[in-house]
Amino acid sequence: MNIAPWPDYKGNEIQEGDVIMHPSGENGVVIFHPERNDPADQWTVNYGGYLESRLCLQIDDKGQAVVVRR
C-alpha cells in the first residue's frame, strides 16, 4: 500500500484507496499514479467519473479534507 507524502488536514496518514471528505460533505477516493514523476502529480483524488484533482490541494487550509474510510 502506498502512503502519501503529506498528512490529511487533521494530521492523519493518507493511503492509496482511502476516502477523504471535505467539510462540505463532498468526498473522493485517493489514487496513486506511479508512472508520474512528481509527487504532486502522482497523488490525486477521484470525485467520480473523470474528475481528478491533486491531493495536495485538497488537504490544505482551503480544502480541509480528512480521511474518513480506509
For 26-37, the pLDDT digits (tens) are: 999 999 999 999
Domain assignment present for residue 4? The answer is: no
Distance CA 60, CA 54 (A): 11
Question: What's the pLDDT score for residue 20?
Answer: 98
Domain assignment present for residue 62? The answer is: yes
Domain assignment present for residue 49? The answer is: yes
Domain assignment present for residue 3? The answer is: no
- Which sign, positive or negative, has the C-alpha torsion 38, 41, 70, 68? positive
> Residue 67 pLDDT more than 90?
yes
Domain assignment present for residue 10? The answer is: no
Domain assignment present for residue 14? The answer is: no
The predicted model scores a pTM of: 0.93
Phi/psi of residue 26, nearest 5 degrees: -65, 140
Number of domains in the chain: 1
For 40-61, the pLDDT digits (tens) are: 999 999 999 888 999 999 999 9
